[in-house]
């Protein structure tokens, strides 16, 4: 029994040594794995912090871009309103100019009609003075047989007219006017 005991003890000691070595190796592997895990966790935390910083930076940049976009929208609306106001102002100015031109054209037409009426009146006065209206109802042959006597231009001379009872008339003038008039008689 004693030999068996010794053999068992020696086997036990050998197994304890093997198990003790395996336990030490397992603990070393465990410690190495724990160190690697701690290192990985530290790297993951560092990466997470960097990612969180990057996300924060990107969020801030997004907010800035959105704010800039909103400012551009406001500027665009203001410019559109300004353009609309300028278009309205230009249309009002053009309308005012057209109304002014129309009024000018209307005034010119009125003056033209007035001048034309004055020309017609002056022509009629000239025809009356020249005696054209006196022979208006005469036909061509009658006008040739009884021509209209065109008087010399007015010299501001004094004229004396004697009317005869038989329908004739004699015109006498001052001596200066007598030179112009050769004892013209107006037919009855």
Domain-located, residue 168: yes
Say how far apart CA 58 and CA 131 lie, in whole Å. 106
Residue 177 has what pLDDT?
A: 47
Domain-located, residue 161: yes
How would residue 66 be classed by pLDDT, with cut points 50, 70 and 90?
very high
- Say how many C-beta atoms besides its own lie within 10 A of residue 148's C-beta: 13
Domain-located, residue 46: no
* Mean confidence (pLDDT) of the chain: 81
Domain-located, residue 176: yes
Residue 188 has what pLDDT?
A: 45
Domain-located, residue 155: yes
Asked if 178 contacts 158 with a C-beta cutoff of 8 angstroms, the reply is no
* Domain region containing 167: 151-181
DSSP string, 45-92: HHHHHHHHHHHHHHHHHHHHHHHHHHHHHHHHHHHHHHHHHHHHHHHH
Asked if 174 contacts 157 with a C-beta cutoff of 8 angstroms, the reply is yes
**Residue 184 DSSP SS3:** coil
Domain-located, residue 2: no
Say how far apart CA 2 and CA 41 lie, in whole Å. 55
Alpha helices in the chain (DSSP H): 2-130, 140-145, 175-180
Domain-located, residue 170: yes
Residue 172 has what pLDDT?
A: 75
- 178 vs 110 pLDDT, higher one: 110
Say how far apart CA 54 and CA 47 lie, in whole Å. 10
- 47 vs 158 pLDDT, higher one: 47
Lowest mean pLDDT segment, chosen from 2-11, 22-31, 87-96, 158-167: 158-167
Q: Is the pLDDT of residue 50 over 80?
A: yes
Could you give the number of structural domains in the chain?
A: 1
Condensed to tens digits (0 to 9), the pLDDT of residues 126-170 reads 877 776 666 667 777 777 777 766 666 666 667 677 878 887 888
Domain-located, residue 165: yes
CA atoms within 13 A on the CB side of 92: 6
Residue 99 has what pLDDT?
A: 82
């Amino acid at each position: 029994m004693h030999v068996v005991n010794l053999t068992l003890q020696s086997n036990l000691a050998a197994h304890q040594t093997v198990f003790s070595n395996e336990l030490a190796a397992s603990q070393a592997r465990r410690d190495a794995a724990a160190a690697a895990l701690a290192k990985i966790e530290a790297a993951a935390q560092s990466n997470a912090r960097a990612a969180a910083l990057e996300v924060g930076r990107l969020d801030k940049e997004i907010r800035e871009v959105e704010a800039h976009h909103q400012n551009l929208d406001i500027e665009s609306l203001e410019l559109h309103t300004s353009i609309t106001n300028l278009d309205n102002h230009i249309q009002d100015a053009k309308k005012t100019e057209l109304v002014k031109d129309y009024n000018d054209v209307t005034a010119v037409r009125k003056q033209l009609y007035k001048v034309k009426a004055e020309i017609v009146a002056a022509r009629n006065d000239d025809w009356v003075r020249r005696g054209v209206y006196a022979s208006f109802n005469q036909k061509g042959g009658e006008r040739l047989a009884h021509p209209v006597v065109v008087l010399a231009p007015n010299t501001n001379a004094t004229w004396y007219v004697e009317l005869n009872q038989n329908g004739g008339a004699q015109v006498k003038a001052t001596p200066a006017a007598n030179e112009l008039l050769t004892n013209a008689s107006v037919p009855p």
